Amino acid sequence: MLLTKEAKAELFAKHGGDAKNTGSAEGQIALFTERINHLTEHLKKNRKDYNTERALVMLVGKRRSLLDYLTKKDILRYRAIVKELGLRK
């Protein structure tokens, strides 16, 4: 796996409020963004890795659905996480 336990705990502490709060939408979005960035770099080197490409598309869809949920639930939290992670939409 890309991230160690300590790195994940740090990521959730930064975005989710607490290292043990792994179910928060912001923490999940941050984790998906890290994985998406890693897979994007992998695909730049390995163009024909179609299984990884499929996994990347699925992760982007999961992140998009979480962002849509956060938009409906609390627009201020949505705007904060998008600005913090530097997402386009």
Three-state DSSP state, 88: coil
Whichever domain contains 44, its CATH number is 1.10.287.10
**Structural domains in the chain (count):** 1
CA distances 13 to 4, 22, 26, 31, 48, Å, are: 14, 9, 10, 11, 36
Q: What is the tens place of the pLDDT at every residue in 69-85?
A: 999 999 999 999 999 99
Give me the DSSP letters along 3-70: S-HHHHHHHHHHHSSSTT-TT-HHHHHHHHHHHHHHHHHHHHH-TT-HHHHHHHHHHHHHHHHHHHHH
Which residues span the domain enclosing 52? 5-85
Q: What is the tens place of the pLDDT at every residue in 13-44?
A: 999 888 888 889 999 999 999 999 999 999 99
pTM: 0.91
Report whether pLDDT(10) > 70: yes
Place of tokens 């300590």: 6
